[in-house]
Structure 1
Amino acid sequence: MKCKACPVSLILLLFSFSTLAQNTYQKDYLETEMDPNASIISNTESSQNHKMLLAAMRAAELEEILSFDGPFTVFAPSDLAFEKLPRDTVAELLDPTNKKEVQALMTYHIIAGNFSASKILRAMCRGEGKATFTTVHGDLITATMQGVDIVLTDNFGNRAKITTADSNQCNGVIHEIDTVIRPSKL
């Protein structure tokens, strides 16, 4: 007799295995980097892995909002993710004359509400393997699975993998991603 497992059960099983491996890394990384009682901005300021993100948040004038309001879910590109962009692009974004562009980019990485990885997975299960979320910018990002990884896809088909999930903050949650996603062509 063949055993037929629900695809959702298989996804959850695979996710739990990857979460176990990720949790070991997260505990080492996040215990030294992120304080769950601090705000998104406070933790980003103390992180050694998000200097470019902090500069972009400041250029976009999001400091006050991400210090107090919430809850928010931030898909936080690491410094390595920003390094994938052409050097001129980063410099242009941080130029004060391009404030609207950097605001659009940064608000595209934020969704209102506290969405843990398990909530994102549940939404994907309800959506038959795919879930869309409206960003603070007003555009959609799509979450899917690639193997055991949650992958976000922007409007142009660019993909970012969540590399570190569920860093809880007093005003939301941060998921580190490996690529900068974009609301428009940069």
Structure 2
Amino acid sequence: MKKFILLSLATSFVFVLSAFTGLNDTTLKTNEGDGTIVAVAAGNENFSTLVTAVKTAGLVETLNGDGPFTVFAPVNDAFGKLPAGTVESLLKEENRETLTAILTYHVVKGEFKAADVLKAIKSNKGKFEITTVQGGTLTASLSGSNVILTDAKGNTSKVVITDVDASNGIIHAIDTVVMP
């Protein structure tokens, strides 16, 4: 019975999340599973700002690596929420180290599907701390049926699409850039 309830919650979770934005599974999964995390993201216009940032930071080779990785990938609108000029500033060569730190803060070693994240949140009294490749911590929690990531500065981001498969991991789309 417990497994059925968890499966029902996970299925509901994925359905509810896909309804939160104009994005949907079809929009995000154009190249799902056909390539690495970078290839899948590059095949979707909703991640064009992220892909540009990954290329600028020199992280393409890393994110094309064996993995597995879980990437909490900000959609273009997430970058649009940053203060005016922030993205342009981060894309400058002199800010490459800062950009790299921000991007690797969105990456976790290992593959954590939505059901795994939900289970971890519930098993840890409502909060699941995730260590990022950057070395910082993100805290996953639930707000209603939404998975919320809280960054080191206390800012939050909602997971809007889950379980976009790639050959070397998985992508979860988020609505706000998280900061180390």
The two structures share one fold, judged by TM-score above 0.5: yes
Is 1:72 aligned to residue 69 of structure 2? yes
Identical residues among aligned pairs (%): 37
1:50 aligned partner, one-letter code: F
Match of 2:57 among 46, 60, 63: 60
Gaps of 5+ in 2: none
User: Would you identify which runs of 4 or more consecutive aligned residues in structure 1 move more than 4 Å?
Assistant: 9-15, 21-26
Q: Secondary structure at the match of 2:100?
A: helix
Q: Which moved more, 1:22-31 or 1:158-167?
A: 22-31
Distance 1:98 1:56, change over 3 A: same
2:101 aligned partner, one-letter code: A
Instruction: Note the C-alpha offset of 1:79.
Output: 0.3
Match of 2:26 among 23, 28, 49: 28
Q: How many residues align?
A: 176
For residues 109-132 of structure 1, the C-alpha deviation after alignment (integer angstroms, 9 at most, x for no partner) is 000000001111111111011100
State the alpha-carbon separation in 2 of the partners of residues 50 and 166 from structure 1. 15
1:110 aligned partner, one-letter code: V
Gaps of 5+ in 1: 1-5
State the alpha-carbon separation in 2 of the partners of residues 84 and 36 from structure 1. 29
1:16 aligned partner, one-letter code: T
Match of 2:36 among 36, 39, 43: 39
Is 1:135 aligned to residue 139 of structure 2? no
State the alpha-carbon separation in 2 of the partners of residues 40 and 15 from structure 1. 23
State the alpha-carbon separation in 1 of the partners of residues 5 and 144 from structure 2. 11
2:63 aligned partner, one-letter code: L
Question: 1:175 corresponds to which residue?
Answer: 172
State the alpha-carbon separation in 2 of the partners of residues 125 and 102 from structure 1. 33
State the alpha-carbon separation in 2 of the partners of residues 138 and 13 from structure 1. 33
Normalising by structure 1, report the TM-score. 0.86
Question: 1:3 corresponds to which residue?
Answer: none
Give me the CA root mean square deviation. Answer: 2.2
Question: 1:82 corresponds to which residue?
Answer: 79
State the alpha-carbon separation in 2 of the partners of residues 58 and 78 from structure 1. 16
Q: Secondary structure at the match of 1:91?
A: helix
Question: 2:88 corresponds to which residue?
Answer: 91
Question: 1:156 corresponds to which residue?
Answer: 153
1:61 aligned partner, one-letter code: G
State the alpha-carbon separation in 2 of the partners of residues 67 and 40 from structure 1. 7
Distance 1:89 1:138, change over 3 A: same
Q: Secondary structure at the match of 1:180?
A: coil
Q: Which moved more, 1:101-110 or 1:86-95?
A: 86-95
Question: 2:115 corresponds to which residue?
Answer: 118
State the alpha-carbon separation in 1 of the partners of residues 33 and 147 from structure 2. 22
